A and B are shown apart, each in its own frame.
Chain A
Amino acid sequence: MRATTLVLKNISRRKGRSILNSIGLILAIAVIVATFTISSSMETHIGEEVEKYGPNIVVTPDTQSISIPYGNVMVGRSTLQENHLTKLSEIENAENIRTISPKLFGTAMVEGENVLLVGLNADSEVYLKVWWEVTGELPVEDSNEAMMGSEIMSALDLSIGSTVTINDSEFKVVAALNETGSNDDYTVFLPLHVAQGLLGMDGEISLVDIGALCSTCPVEVIAEQITDAIPDVRATPVKQAVETRIKMVEQAANFSLMLASVVMVAGCAGIMNTMVSSVHQRRREIGVFMSLGADNTYIYKIFLFEAVILGLVGGVLGSALGVLSSMIMGPLVLSTPIIIQDIPVFSIPLSIAISVVACLVASLYPTWRATKIDPVSALKAI
C-alpha cells in the first residue's frame, strides 16, 4: 500500500461531496474549453466565408490610363499577359491562393448598341462574387454563349435562349445575371478567350481578381509577393469586412477568457475551502498518522496528491461540460454547428493542466496548516 492508494481510497468514499465542492472549478474549466472551442470554430467558419467573400487582391497592369471604373478599381486600356499568370503558382504563399479570376474589359456593338463587354471564366467569377445570382447555365469556355446583366437584358428585350449579335458574331444567351445595382447590370459577359478573339486582344487581360485566404499572413504580404513575381503589374489588397469580424471574434474570446479567470478565482476559493475543511475534518486522522510516524513530507504528499486528483477530475469533467455546452450552444447562439474537429487540440490538455495547477496552489495553505496540527490535541478532541 502506498500513500497514493490511501488517498484514492479516502477520496472514493466521498466522491459526491468532492465533486460538489469542485463545481466552481468545473465551471471555470468548462468556460475555458467552450471559449476555445466556439472561437476556433467561428474562426474556421469565417475562414470558409473569406474564401467566397469576394476577391481580396486585385492585380492590374502597373501603368494605367484610367478610363472605366470597375468595382473598386479603374480599368484602363493597358493590359497584362495572360501567360504571366502561371507565375502565381510560384510565389511563397501560393497555397493560400484559392481562386483566380482573370478578366478582359472592352466595348462591343450589341444589337446596334455600344455596351460594356467582359471576358471571363464564369465559374471562377461566380465563385468569387457570392452576391451574384445567376439564372440559367453559365457560359462554357470557347463557346459562343453569353451571360447578360439584368438591365441590358430588358433594354434589348432578350431572354434566356435568345440569340444576340455581338460585333457581327451570333451568340446564344445562356444565363442572366440578376440585378446587382452595379455596372454588371449593363454588361455582356463572354468566355474569356472568345472575348479576346472578338476584341482582337488574344492573350491579354485587363485585371485579375484573386481570392486568397490566410489566417496567419496578411493579404498585404501575398499582394507584395504577386507584385514582385509578375512583371509590370500591381497587386492591390482589398480590405475585407471579414477581418473586422475576425477581430470581433478575438475580442469576444478574450472577454470570455477573462470571465473564465474570474470564475477560476472563485473555483480556487472553492477548492481552498474544500481542502481547509478536509484538513479540519481529518485532524484526528492526521494525528493518528503523525503518531504512527508520518512526517511533514508525508502530509504534503497525501494532501497535494488529493489536490492533483481533484484537479484531474475537475479538469476532465469541466472539459466534458465545456465541449457539451459549446455543442449545444454553438448552433443556438451562433447558428454554427460545432463538431469534435472544432475543438482545438491543445485546449483540453491545457485546461486540465490549469485545473491541476489551480488545485495545487489552492491546497498549499491548507496543507501547510495540516502540518501544524498538534497530534495530541487532535487525538484528544472528541
Chain B
Amino acid sequence: MIEINNVTKSYTMGEEKISALNEVSLTVEEGDFMAVTGPSGSGKSTLLYTIGGLLTPTHGNVQVNGSMIYSLTSKERARFRRENVGFIFQTFELLPYLTALENVMIPLSLAGEDSRDQEKWALEALEKVGLGKRATHKPNELSGGEQQRVAVARGLVNEANILLADEPTGNLDQKTGDEIMSLLRELNDEDGQTIIYVTHDQSNAKLADKVVGMIDGRIVTRINQRN
C-alpha cells in the first residue's frame, strides 16, 4: 500500500514560487491499476517520481508498505527503488550501447545478482512482453513499441510490486500505444502488480480501475471505475 500524506513539492524560480504538488494526499492499494490525468504542468510527473522515491517532497511524507521512504538514507532509498519500483518513461530511456537483454539485466546487475540468473530472468521478462526473439538487438534496431516493451520488461524484471509509467504511450502511435496499455493491463490482471500511469489520452484513462485528475498541483477528481 502507498500512502501519500499532505505532500507539497515547491520550486522557487527567481521570485516566483511554484508548487508542483500542493498538499496532495492519496492512497494506492496493492494491485491498483491507476491512471493520473490532467493538463500539462499540473504535477502528474512530480507525483509519480515522489511515489517512486526519486524526488524528496518539500513537506509531507510518503509511506510505502509501512516504511517512510523519505526518512531512509539515500542509499537505503536506492535499494528501495531497486527492489520495489519499476519506472517506465515516455522516451523509453534504454541504453543505446546495450542489447535489449542487457538493458533488462541492469536492475538485476544493480542488485548484484549472479550473471547466469541475470540472463535467465531477463530473458523470461522479455518473453513475457513478447520480445524473446529480439533479445540480442540494440535499441536502434527496434521499433518504438518494441523499445517500450523492453522498458516494461526492465521495469518488472526485479519483480517490483510497483510499476510507475510516465506517459508510456506518449511517443507511440495509437495502435502501438494500445498494445502497450493492454500489456500493462495484463501484468496487473495476471501478476497483481500495482501500476500507476500518467496519460493524456481519455481512452487510456478508461482502462484504469481508478482515475486521479490533477490541476495546478492538486488532485481535483478521484474516480473509481472498477466494474
Contact = CB atoms under 8 A, between A and B. Distances in A.
Interface stretch (A181-189, A284-292, A326-334): A284-292
Given A1-B102, A2-B115, A285-B95, A292 B107 contact: yes
Interface in B191-226: none
B54 A288 contact: no
Indicate the size class of the contact surface on chain B: 20 to 34
Interface of A: 1-3, 6, 9-10, 12-13, 284-285, 288-298, 375-376, 379-380
Given A10-B97, A375-B54, A379-B93, A294 B75 contact: no
B78 interface: yes
Given A288-B93, A292-B82, 4 more contacts: A290-B54, A292-B107, A292-B154, A376-B45
8 contacts: A10-B95, A285-B95, A291-B81, A293-B82, A295-B78, A296-B74, A298-B110, A376-B49
Contact of B74 (A2, A291, A295): A295
A2 B116 CA distance: 11
B75 A293 contact: no
A293 B81 contact: yes
A291 B54 contact: yes
Contacts of B108: 1
3 shortest interchain CB distances as A-B pairs:
A293-B82, A295-B78, A293-B81
A109 to B, nearest CB: 96
A298 to B, nearest CB: 7
Contacts of A293: 78-83, 85, 107, 110-111, 158
B105 interface: yes
A297 B102 CA distance: 21
Nearest to B101: A1
A292 B107 CA distance: 6
Nearest to B80: A293
B81 A9 contact: no
B52 to A, nearest CB: 7
Contacts of B49: 376
Interface of B: 45-46, 49, 52, 54-55, 74-75, 78-83, 85, 87, 89, 93, 95, 97-98, 102, 105-111, 115, 118, 154, 158
A292 B75 contact: no
Interface centre among A285, A292, A293, A380 (most CB of B within 10 A): A293
B147 to A, nearest CB: 13
Contacts of A297: 75
Contacts of A6: 98, 106, 109
Nearest to A9: B97
B87 A292 contact: yes
Contact of A295 (B45, B75, B89): B75
B79 A295 contact: yes
Contacts of A289: 106, 110
A380 B80 CA distance: 22
Nearest to B113: A1
Nearest to B86: A292
A63 to B, nearest CB: 85
Nearest to A371: B74
Contacts of B107: 292-293
A276 B159 CA distance: 35
Contacts of A2: 109, 115
